[in-house]
A and B are shown apart, each in its own frame.
Chain A
Amino acid sequence: MNYELKTSFKYAKGGDKEDATFLDISSPSNNVIKHVTLIEKQLFKAINNVSSGNEPPKEDQDQKLKGEEIMMALAAGDANLEKCYDALKEILIKTCKINGDDKFTHDLFNLMSYADTKCLMGDYISNFLFSSLAD
């Protein structure tokens, strides 16, 4: 999955500073199983909380949820977003390349904008986790 950064940031590459413009994220393997399952648990919890509330369930179950919708569901469903973001950070460190070929590090996560982190979380769940649950 490719994620275009809304706010680019500078990172060290080949002795100089360069703009990070996109992230290339590979699908999760068992290398990140601990972190992926944590997000899944929070997702289930949120879906359960939302569907047991007043909000009607989605009529078209086949329709793929968008990242923003997932983030809204997570927030509305009282998921522990802080834990989810921590898990996302660990996943990115192991599965993500900046601009397609440079290692993503803990400190680069700190440079990413919150807006990008939020969108990326939604897109990641939509692409890799929610789709696999729906299969």
Chain B
Amino acid sequence: MGSRIVSTANILVNNTAIPIVPNTFTFTEGFGDSTVRVASAGNGRTETVYSDNAENKKSSCGFELFPTAENIEITRTWQFNKNQNVIEVVDEDITRVFTNAAIITDIEKNLGADTTMPLEWESDPAS
């Protein structure tokens, strides 16, 4: 069986499916940054040292919505919730849950026939 690109996952925010602008969902797993440095081990030898930067162990995700009255209202509610939101991405073979999610920007609500509202979220690392 051939593989399939995940492009039409179901996006749930606080238990409700949200119709998003197609192909706009992006996320990071929340592993944070890691670096590999080189230590000198003497006699010309070196060894690598791995380090995790815990400062960045958070997920970010984003998607765009059409500026319908319903979406304008619901995004306002999500912003009032601060970090008390949960985003779930559900597809046939893959599921991710982002808990304690907060919208980190003041959403630019572009009103127009062919405009969208971009949402940027940050949350606990994806599970």
> Which chain B positions have C-beta within 8 A of A108?
15
Interface residues of B in 67-111 (CB under 8 A from A): 81, 83-86, 88, 97, 99-101
Contact B86 A107 (CB under 8 A): no
Contact of A15 among B10, B81, B88 (CB under 8 A): B81
Contact A17 B86 (CB under 8 A): yes
Interface residues of A in 1-45 (CB under 8 A from B): 11-17
For the complex formed, measure the closest distance between the CB of B124 and the CB atoms of chain A, giving whole angstroms.
9
Contact B15 A15 (CB under 8 A): no
Q: How large is the interface on A (under 10, 10 to 19, 20 to 34, 35 or more residues)?
A: 10 to 19
> Which chain A positions have C-beta within 8 A of B100?
15-16
> Which chain A positions have C-beta within 8 A of B101?
15
Contact B83 A15 (CB under 8 A): yes
CA gap between A14 and B97 in the complex, in Å: 14
Q: At the interface, yes or no: B8 with Cβ under 8 Å from chain A?
A: no
> Which chain A positions have C-beta within 8 A of B84?
14-15
For the complex formed, measure the closest distance between the CB of A106 and the CB atoms of chain B, giving whole angstroms.
7
Q: At the interface, yes or no: B34 with Cβ under 8 Å from chain A?
A: no
Contact B16 A17 (CB under 8 A): no
Q: At the interface, yes or no: A83 with Cβ under 8 Å from chain B?
A: no
Task: Give 24 pairs: A residue, B residue, CB < 8 Å, sorted on A.
Answer: A11-B15, A12-B12, A12-B85, A12-B88, A14-B84, A15-B83, A15-B84, A15-B86, A15-B99, A15-B100, A15-B101, A16-B86, A16-B100, A17-B97, A17-B99, A103-B15, A105-B15, A105-B16, A106-B16, A106-B17, A107-B15, A107-B16, A107-B17, A108-B15
Given contacts A12-B12, A107-B10, 20 further A-B contacts (CB under 8 A): A11-B15, A12-B15, A12-B85, A12-B86, A14-B84, A15-B84, A15-B85, A15-B86, A15-B101, A16-B86, A16-B99, A17-B86, A17-B97, A17-B99, A103-B15, A105-B15, A105-B16, A106-B16, A106-B17, A107-B15
